[in-house]
Structure 1
């Protein structure tokens, strides 16, 4: 693991901005890897399950300003969510990964530098995924079982490498479009209108000002709970 002065390649290790990040290189952990999964040809978009159960997912973090506020809101209502983390962001905010583990949230792999994977070689895709999985295991305590491609861009290499690393490709059903900063009310309306059994909601806890995301979560979460919705994390036995 590189320090914060210079990385293993001798580059200056500056604190990352959104996606201007450097991939991690280093020795793989000695723990057993997850068993390979079946190669899919499309990502998982929703889940089946009993009752009005939904999944909340947050991409691109963790961020030291917005992620704790999201975690606080989830804790207030005793809700578990899924965080698709970028390796470099996680490297700078390992305490937040540890908190996610302590509070029962699922952490997934969202690559190291948030690149468009369909433009990368198979080797570079593998480096993006392995580097992030290694860091998650060292900090969160387990290798990730779920992966989300940046920008929702998938191809054969991505699906094959996901399977080889024991990860399932998870996309989304409802896009909150919070990354466009449309206003807190607009985010709330998109999530509430899209609410249905088995849907996967996409939001972001980093990559920009996520004040609206935080505010929207605080508004729609208690409303949906009052309407009888429940929130969970992905499990392979009900995909």
Structure 2
């Protein structure tokens, strides 16, 4: 039986970031612009060989060359990196990134079916229509931080990383009334400086994922089934409603249901 949520521990990604390395997961390369692809790779540590996947690798994990990651004082514990939530229930967690595409029907779907979501929003993608995501928030979605402009954070100084993380949190606080406390780094790329900047911006955890969803279809990390506690990564896209219906059908077919991450992680992760 899986341990209860209060025993959430640092994942392999945490170890990677704490070692000053660039970490894990994303479906897009820094050159990919606004359009998500169907590929992702799983993060690895220096202590074991990476598992093979059927997806395309994101930017390769490398030792950080950011001088700030070696010179900044360590002013307390760094936020944990979470890619899986230990649960006893047959639930999974749907997260949606960026916000470039805004399908009105998708808001109705989420509201009418009461689907719990966590949105990691990039301010550059949503600034033309903050109200759209306000509608999703009123339907129950959490609004969290995915930086201002979606840069590859380990290439930036501490000051620039902090600006990229803090600025959207400030904007979303004013726009939506609550401050984000969870960060998803663009391309899943973090180093120790990223974790420091995230902590100093009030982030309580850095969120990764296990499975990637493209066009409503799941790219599994292993096997052909989801596991309870998996975090699914979706991107807003022009066919969001139809794709999401397909995803919900697959989740239900496997005897699982989407759940609100707030109910399964300790309350400290959501206190700003």
Mark the CA change 1:98 to 1:85 in structure 2 (over 3 Å): closer, same or farther: same
Q: Considering Cα pairs closer than 8 Å and 6+ residues apart, tell me whether 1 or 2 has the greater RCO.
A: 1
CA contact 1:37–1:166 (8 Å) conserved in 2: no
Instruction: State yes or no: 1:203 paired with 2:234.
Output: yes
Q: 1:39 aligned to 72, 78, 81, which one?
A: 78
Q: What pairs up with 1:104-119 in 2 under 5 angstroms? A: 104-119=140-155
Mark the CA change 1:113 to 1:229 in structure 2 (over 3 Å): closer, same or farther: same
The aligned counterpart of 2:211 is 174
Q: 1:122 aligned to 126, 133, 158, which one?
A: 158
Q: What pairs up with 1:144-155 in 2 under 5 angstroms? A: 144-155=180-191
RMSD between aligned residues: 2.6
The aligned counterpart of 2:111 is 75
Mark the CA change 1:110 to 1:234 in structure 2 (over 3 Å): closer, same or farther: same
The aligned counterpart of 1:140 is 176
The aligned counterpart of 2:201 is 165
Instruction: State yes or no: 1:237 paired with 2:261.
Output: no
Instruction: State yes or no: 1:218 paired with 2:245.
Output: yes
TM-score after normalising by structure 2: 0.63
Cα deviation digits, residues 109-148 of structure 1 (max 9, x gap): 0000000001111111111111100111111110101100
Mark the CA change 1:62 to 1:135 in structure 2 (over 3 Å): closer, same or farther: farther
What is the CA-CA distance between 1:213 and the residue it aligns to?
4.8
List alignment gaps of at least 5 residues for structure 2.
1-32, 36-74
93-102 or 122-131: bigger deviation:
93-102
Number of matched pairs: 192
Cα deviation digits, residues 21-41 of structure 1 (max 9, x gap): xxxxxxxxxxxxxxx98404x
Mark the CA change 1:216 to 1:194 in structure 2 (over 3 Å): closer, same or farther: farther
Mark the CA change 1:231 to 1:189 in structure 2 (over 3 Å): closer, same or farther: closer
Counterpart-to-counterpart distance in 1, 2:188 and 2:122 = 14
Q: Which structure: greater helix fraction?
A: 1
Mark the CA change 1:92 to 1:212 in structure 2 (over 3 Å): closer, same or farther: closer
What is the CA-CA distance between 1:90 and the residue it aligns to?
2.6
TM-score after normalising by structure 1: 0.71
Cα deviation digits, residues 37-86 of structure 1 (max 9, x gap): 8404x62101012311111011111533x3x3333332332211011001
CA contact 2:96–2:120 (8 Å) conserved in 1: yes
Q: What pairs up with 1:85-96 in 2 under 5 angstroms? A: 85-96=121-132
